[in-house]
Chain A
């Protein structure tokens, strides 16, 4: 039983109520530091969003900046009926989907090689991850040098193999494939690193339980491991998709959209429309369509990956 009768002089201490600086500081002081950064993010994202939404509705070419006419959905209509737009959509999807799926498969396969330790694996892993931190501009230059029709090392190899000289960037049938291979070279290490970490995160007892149950390694991989790493896989794929859609630097350094239009991606065409033709209304509308395509694709792929795996 509470037998103490000591009394407390309640009300003797001043209790600040609502209002006033001290109340504000106590209540919001902890989140106040967020303000500058949030303000920066809001300004930098809201302004371009609204701006680009507005100008996408205008017919406005910077070569004649004073002539700015409201066009409504004009730019969007123009785009959706434009063969070059649909060509770019096709090219981009080919590039993004083929590159990312091959990177995933290769990355996972290499991660399986490295999953169990062997002498010297750390050193090899260090070599393996280098491509992904090479600046894309350098990648572009390096590939141009290596694939040079006159003196490139690859040309030397193809000639030695009796395939003759191949113009990888100039041949319409090969240009996009070459870009895909370059992207795979640069970004498979990324997938590899994530897949390796994901595999190492799989609880050992689950694998051991499966072994005791008599499952063979291949079976264990497809029945259990794939399911257990689906979340990292989904994140890695989503990140790679987002980045692959942006592909620009390498195209700038190598094919510049050519030959003809086989490497004309969405990013490249927006750049072309905005900074070469200076048709910024059109470029803004284009940007919006691209954003929709990216968001829709990433959402769809994520849903496919997570649901299909989860239902196993």
Chain B
């Protein structure tokens, strides 16, 4: 057997330069990433610190994790209730958004109709309005139907707030699906509804999931409406957080523990759907 001599990895000056460049970039990226992550690390660390560790003169960067603060958050206050209220409101409004959004977006993407573009742009333009600009009329509207203080007022407002984005995104996802695939299903004998459920939805699922995630995050993090429209029993988690801050006692360990609890579910979702998130965040401008 004639064995070919494996070519020795040549250390050409060009290749060495490329290696140094990559190493430099990686190093810079590491520093930048750590810089952005540092506050989050600090929050989680504080949440895991026990007792007065948080107020020590020389802060320690590593601690033995102590989950006491998390336990206290649930036992000493209504934060558990606030979290479940947030969960209910966010999930409900997300589901409503997807159902209403898909039923607007699908015809908008598929059916030829007059003024199609105008409708789409009108819907998108709703997103530019600052919430603060509509909060008073919405507050009065909801009060007139007796919904202020009820979690349904938040469900309605969040659905309204996220619907334009949902429609815009779903329209893009539906439009990206080749019409021929749906037409093939029609020719194969399936009706519109069956085609939509059996072909269209499964094929646009990644987009639907990303959209759902965005709706959820926006609803989950929202504070302005939540602060004004909820009563004592219907506080969402962000509103609940503010109650920890009292002039007399500021228990930072517990606040950070509660903050971590607010942020954690969203992080997990965002990391899982990172790929689709970009497209959602840019209204589909980047694929």
Contacts and interface: CB of A to CB of B under 8 A. Distances in A.
Interface in A114-153: 114, 116, 118-121, 124-131, 133-138, 141-146, 150-151, 153
A254 to B, nearest CB: 11
A137 B270 CA distance: 18
Interface in A256-303: 266-267, 270-271, 274-275, 280, 283-284, 287-288, 290-291, 294-295, 298
A190 interface: yes
* Nearest 3 CB-CB pairings of A with B: A48-B137, A287-B133, A37-B100
B256 A188 contact: no
Nearest to B21: A116
Interface of A: 30-31, 33-34, 36-38, 40-41, 44-45, 47-49, 51-52, 55, 110, 113-114, 116, 118-121, 124-131, 133-138, 141-146, 150-151, 153, 156, 185, 188-190, 193-194, 196-198, 201, 231-232, 235-236, 239, 242, 245-246, 248-249, 252-253, 266-267, 270-271, 274-275, 280, 283-284, 287-288, 290-291, 294-295, 298
B147 interface: no
Given A30-B110, A41-B164, A246-B131, 4 more contacts: A133-B267, A135-B266, A156-B58, A242-B130
A138 B104 CA distance: 34
A221 B139 CA distance: 49
A141 B22 contact: no
13 contacts: A34-B103, A37-B103, A118-B29, A121-B26, A130-B40, A130-B267, A135-B241, A136-B221, A138-B238, A142-B39, A197-B287, A232-B285, A287-B130
A141 B259 contact: yes
Contact of A146 (B25, B42, B141): B42
B59 A36 contact: no
A114 B31 CA distance: 12
Interface of B: 22, 25-26, 28-30, 32-34, 36-37, 39-40, 42-43, 46, 54-59, 100-101, 103-104, 106-108, 110-111, 113, 119, 123, 126-138, 140-141, 156, 159-160, 163-164, 167, 192, 217, 220-221, 223-224, 227-228, 237-239, 241-242, 244-245, 252, 255-256, 259, 262-263, 266-267, 270-271, 274, 277-279, 281-283, 285-287
B32 A110 contact: yes
Contact of B26 (A119, A125, A134, A298): A119
A124 B36 CA distance: 10
Contacts of A131: 36, 39-40
B59 A287 contact: no
B26 A118 contact: yes
Given A30-B192, A130-B37, A141-B241, A267 B132 contact: yes
Nearest to B261: A138
Contacts of B167: 37
B147 to A, nearest CB: 13
Contact of B107 (A33, A134, A197): A33
B224 A194 contact: no
B22 A116 contact: yes
Given A34-B108, A37-B103, A194-B278, A52 B134 contact: yes
B128 A193 contact: no
Given A124-B29, A126-B271, A235-B283, A135 B221 contact: yes
A127 B259 contact: no
Contacts of B279: 197
B40 to A, nearest CB: 6
Contact of B134 (A48, A201, A294): A48
From A41, A136, A266, A290, name the one whose CB has the most chain B CB atoms within 10 angstroms. Answer: A41
A48 B42 CA distance: 42
Given A141-B255, A235-B285, A287-B133, A38 B104 contact: yes
A137 B282 CA distance: 23
Contact of A126 (B217, B262, B274, B287): B274
A290 B133 contact: yes
Contacts of A284: 136-137
A68 to B, nearest CB: 13
B160 to A, nearest CB: 4
A231 B285 contact: yes
Contacts of B42: 142, 146, 153
Contacts of A133: 217, 221, 263, 266-267, 270
B22 A118 contact: yes
A249 B103 CA distance: 33
Contacts of A271: 132, 135, 224
B179 to A, nearest CB: 13
Contacts of A287: 130, 132-134, 136
Contacts of A138: 43, 238, 241, 259, 262-263
A153 B221 contact: no
Contact of A242 (B28, B128, B270): B128
